[in-house]
Amino acid sequence: METERHPFDPFLPPEARVLFLGTFPAKPHRWSMRFYYPNFLNDFWRIMGLVFFGDAKHFESRGAKAWDEEAIRAFCAGKALAFSDTAEEIRRLKGNASDAALEVVRPRDVDGLLVHLPRCRAIATTGGKAAEVVAGLYGVEPPVVGGFVPVRVGDGRVPAFWRLPSTSRAYPLPLEKKAAAYRAFFSALGIRN
């Protein structure tokens, strides 16, 4: 079974205080942009719209079922949010992006990412598989959904490793409740709209 390498470079604004880590993007035919959480059916950008603008459609491109990549990149840079995924290389066991159907062949070097983020104080995973990968990298148990545990990273920092609700529509939690969990996360970090 063939493997896939991650298609996106990490997005690492040097002033970033949070590093968001998912698992791996869907196949390219599902993308509506070339950035993290590219599938229009994934709720990550709806959640960000609700949390920061009170509008789940804030990041939608007008007249298309697509995300406004330029607005998203500007927002992330302005809020000091970094993005990557936990898998550098995967196998799709069932041909989709479901966490249950992904085998992580080679994880991303999270310590290597954090070297570029000297102000980062939180690692936030956006799903169960991502939380498992990060927990394995740092030898800790994954936190409960909505919770965090401290982890010691390569340069001696001890950021909080958060596990947030999955933004996949397959995760059985209403959008408003997902947004409430993300709102509480940002509030705990002092990141406001």
Q: What is the pLDDT of residues 144-165, one digit of tens each?
A: 999 999 999 999 999 999 999 9
Task: Residue 184: name the closest of 59, 60, 47, 85 by CA.
Answer: 47
Q: Which residues of 85-114 are buried (b: 16+ CB within 10 A; e: fewer)?
A: bbbbebebeeeebebeebebeebbebeebb
Q: What is the pLDDT of residues 32-85, one digit of tens each?
A: 999 999 999 999 999 999 999 999 999 999 888 999 999 999 999 999 999 999
pLDDT at 97: 64
The domains found in the chain, sorted by start residue, are 4-28+81-188 (3.40.470.10)
pLDDT at 96: 67
Mean pLDDT of 3-28: 95
CA atoms within 13 A on the CB side of 47: 26
pTM to 2 decimal places? 0.95
147, 107 contact by CB (below 8 A): no
